[in-house]
Structure 1
Amino acid sequence: MAALFHHVHSAPLARAVRSRAVSISSRATVTVPTPTPPPSRADPRVLLGLAEPELQQLALDFGQQRYRGKQLHQLIYKSKIREVRDFLQLPQSFRNDLEKAGWKVGRSPVHSVVRAADGTIKILIKLEDDRLIETVGIPVEEDSGSIRLTACVSSQVGCPLRCSFCATGKGGFSRNLLQHEIVEQVLAIEELFKNRVSNVVFMGMGEPMLNLKAVLGAHRCLNKDVQIGQRMITISTVGVPNTIKKLATYKLQSTLAVSLHAPNQKLREKIVPSAKSYPLEAIMKDCKDYFLETGRRVSFEYTLLAGVNDEVEHAVELAVLLHSWGRGSHVNLIPFNPIEGSEYRRPYKKAVLAFAAALESRQITVSIRQTRGLDASAACGQLRNEFQKSPMLASSDNPMPL
């Protein structure tokens, strides 16, 4: 009987999986000096990440009416139901068929939650292979009294690039996240805050450009299905050869944030080891071409490390670099957030303001990132956990339901 059922429903499974594969129109071969991630154990038959037309087709393939697919879409993205058996609006027979065919929503349990005094919340999500990823919800009260809720999402379990000031790289690298494992982070934040996420930044664990296919798939889902505007989404990168060019071909309205952290190649290589394979001149040319291709200004991230890259002379050199490659540059200054075992120090406020003033006096738009979640180790560069490299032990597995 089981074999017969599998035969009957092999067509919808194949079609649904194939439809997900074509959501990214092309693939590019990217040469990067990083280890090949091991294959994921996660089951690909997940509903989270499918668009409404795909869910409608899935319903038809299971002998249901098309509108059942629209119901599925509402249950997954609006009601945020975590288990197929809890889709009570659907016929019991449809739910049973989905479960027997191996379909699931694709939501992972929340292992733990850490709250900071400023309202920032760090969520540790336990994946199917028993590794933990971290995602951060950052609420900011607007002048109007409304709350702007930003989700800082991870794209990898750990990170292979090992930037010297970042805790994530020091914790090791396991694998890329799947599309639904990225999307579910935003849903988890919305559930915890009981509020809509208004902004998404791909600035959590990992290098998004090393997992570009899944990041673009998640971007589409967050935009079209979760209903977050493209201009409210930022994709960050420290720089991976060939990927900025590839991203430009999609002509997204989202922000590309490039982490420079130094105004010259020699200093950048000391701070960002992977910079050796992607010279500063090459990355700046790609940023210029990205602007010409998309019309979207590139934002440059710059982590200030006391006594290393925070002198006024560095600011002057940075301004010259940015002016030589285009106009209208924006620099986001990030005072270093302390991490265990680091030799770096956080700069004094006076040094940060002097650096910003030097850029502004040279017609470079500057913002200084407000540190959030520091006491919960949820600030920029602090995301790290002991289970990002190795799976959790059974004795450590203590998930906390939402």
Structure 2
Amino acid sequence: MIATSMAVLQHTYAVPLARAAARSRSLSAFAVPTKAGVSVPSNARESQVLLGMSEPELQRLALDFGQEKYRGKQLHHLLYQRKVKDIQDFSNLPLAFRNDLQESGWRVGWSPIYQTVKAADGTIKLLIKLEDNRLIETVGIPVEDEKGSMRLTACVSSQVGCPLKCSFCATGKGGFSRNLQSHEIVEQVLAIEEVFKHRVTNVVFMGMGEPMLNMKSVLEAHRCLNKDIQIGQRMITISTVGVPNTIRRLASHKLQSTLAVSLHAPNQKLRESIVPSAKSYPLEALMKDCQDYFQKTSRRVSFEYALLAGVNDAEEHAVELADLLREWARGSHVNLIPFNPIDGSDYRRPYKKAVLAFANALESRKVTVSVRQTRGLDASAACGQLRNEFQKSPLVVESEEMESQPEFAVAC
């Protein structure tokens, strides 16, 4: 991350020189034009942000500003325990240190909540307004167990919109702007905690965007969520529709988090009709990568399957899916997701009878299955719905980042 890089580069220089360099970078910021004619301020991507930094990095930063090393530990506590949003509210730090940080262009990194929508079931969807005025969605999903304890899941976005156009996903209809920086992912979790006044227990990368197309920031955010915010790795799920070579890359990090692969179909032909990008990543190759992932990490892959009425929800599809998993991923878990209706889609939500028949067909063939409880239907909880409502026209921005995105569909 940029903040880390700056800290390392500055380590051997005096504080005044560090401040001068930061001011110079701030003054040299300029708008980068995109092909679509939309200007994106470069300083929106070059901001020096504290959120997302580890304790050792914050200690290094304190030393760079002529402070004692323990000031970095205090910074860490202020960011992740007290969740202070403004540097000037770091009351237990010397005023001179606070001023030096601000003068050098540092900020905490929180973005304002633009809109909050609460569903009758307690699900809350937030629209967060980023520094460049773009909107992202994050969802808080509370579930109470029999003992009255609450599990709070944060469903976070990894991109501003999506560069792809999955046929059943609202996010793609809203267009794509850019990848999120790691702190912009982390702040979604903190925003959910602030709204619920409760600790987030689980994080799922199942919001807007395809996490594997922004793996660097996703992994940086994963580290922060685990090490700094203290969410166990096994409580974090990274979802993907399947992007060639990325599952192998993820396996090399040997995370203990769950990998959820969105299948949506039991054969290549049907999958291509639902997820057009599957043409670039044959189902057999995807399943082979999932098999290798298990062998390298000892973590079984979970499979997501969106049930679309009259498309992929017949019992024969369930039988074919069971056969596929028996060949490539014995013992895997399938999460069935009845389609969450979105405006402008011809897809329909299957009847409960069809969902249960599909689940029973899998279970009778020794496949562990669960049916995801649909939450937040009255809060536009499907990915991209709320954001689209606040955009008078689709946000289609062809940026430099968009050019580099391959033709693969978003996880949903």
**Do the structures match in fold with TM over 0.5?**
yes
Tell me how far 1:389 sits from its aligned partner: 2.3
Match of 1:353 in 2: 356
Q: Structure 1 pair 370/178, CA: closer, same or farther in 2 (3 Å)?
A: same
Tell me how far 1:112 sits from its aligned partner: 1.0
Match of 1:220 in 2: 223
1:93 correspondence with 2:103 = no
Match of residue 132, structure 2, among 117, 129, 134 = 129
Match of 2:267 in 1: 264
| CA–CA distance in structure 2, aligned partners of residues 48 and 66 of structure 1 | 18
Match of 1:240 in 2: 243
Match of 2:395 in 1: 389
Equivalent residues, number: 366
The C-alpha deviation readout for 1:96-155, integer Å capped at 9, x for no partner, is 000011000011011110000000000100001111000000001111111100000000
Q: Structure 1 pair 243/151, CA: closer, same or farther in 2 (3 Å)?
A: same
Q: Any conservation in 2 of the 1:209–1:243 contact (CA below 8 Å)?
A: yes
Match of 1:120 in 2: 123
% identity of equivalent residues: 76
Match of 1:306 in 2: 309
Tell me how far 1:44 sits from its aligned partner: 3.5
Tell me how far 1:86 sits from its aligned partner: 1.0
Q: Secondary structure at the match of 1:42?
A: helix
Q: Secondary structure at the match of 2:139?
A: strand
The C-alpha deviation readout for 1:239-289, integer Å capped at 9, x for no partner, is 111100000000000000000000001110110111111110000000000
Match of 1:395 in 2: none
Q: Which amino acid is the alignment partner of residue 325 of structure 2?
A: L
Q: Which amino acid is the alignment partner of residue 156 of structure 2?
A: V
Match of residue 373, structure 1, among 355, 373, 376 = 376
| CA–CA distance in structure 2, aligned partners of residues 39 and 209 of structure 1 | 25
Q: Which amino acid is the alignment partner of residue 167 of structure 2?
A: S
Tell me how far 1:6 sits from its aligned partner: 5.6
Match of residue 364, structure 1, among 353, 364, 367 = 367
Match of residue 62, structure 1, among 57, 62, 65 = 65
Tell me how far 1:380 sits from its aligned partner: 5.6
Tell me how far 1:10 sits from its aligned partner: 6.2
Q: Which amino acid is the alignment partner of residue 345 of structure 2?
A: S
Q: Which amino acid is the alignment partner of residue 296 of structure 1?
A: R
Tell me how far 1:327 sits from its aligned partner: 1.3
Q: Secondary structure at the match of 1:89?
A: coil
Q: Any conservation in 2 of the 1:12–1:62 contact (CA below 8 Å)?
A: no
1:180 correspondence with 2:216 = no
Match of 2:28 in 1: none
Q: Which amino acid is the alignment partner of residue 210 of structure 1?
A: L
Q: Which amino acid is the alignment partner of residue 389 of structure 1?
A: L
Match of 2:46 in 1: 43
1:7 correspondence with 2:21 = no
Q: Which amino acid is the alignment partner of residue 84 of structure 1?
A: I
Q: Any conservation in 1 of the 2:19–2:103 contact (CA below 8 Å)?
A: no
Match of 1:201 in 2: 204
TM-score (norm 1): 0.88
| CA–CA distance in structure 2, aligned partners of residues 357 and 277 of structure 1 | 32
Match of 1:317 in 2: 320
Q: Secondary structure at the match of 2:138?
A: strand
The C-alpha deviation readout for 1:78-105, integer Å capped at 9, x for no partner, is 1111111111110000000000110000
Match of 1:230 in 2: 233
RMSD: 2.1
352-361 vs 371-380, greater mean Cα deviation: 371-380
Q: Unpaired segments of 5 or more residues in structure 2?
A: 1-13, 24-39, 398-412
Q: Which amino acid is the alignment partner of residue 83 of structure 2?
A: K
| CA–CA distance in structure 2, aligned partners of residues 165 and 317 of structure 1 | 22
| CA–CA distance in structure 2, aligned partners of residues 110 and 134 of structure 1 | 10
The C-alpha deviation readout for 1:342-366, integer Å capped at 9, x for no partner, is 0000000000000000000001000
The C-alpha deviation readout for 1:362-386, integer Å capped at 9, x for no partner, is 0100000000011001146746424
TM-score (norm 2): 0.85
Q: Unpaired segments of 5 or more residues in structure 1?
A: 14-37, 392-402
Q: Which amino acid is the alignment partner of residue 165 of structure 2?
A: R
Q: Any conservation in 1 of the 2:262–2:305 contact (CA below 8 Å)?
A: yes
- What does residue range 8-27 of structure 1 map to in structure 2 within 5 Å? 8-9=18-19
Tell me how far 1:390 sits from its aligned partner: 6.4
| CA–CA distance in structure 2, aligned partners of residues 218 and 389 of structure 1 | 25
Q: Structure 1 pair 241/260, CA: closer, same or farther in 2 (3 Å)?
A: same
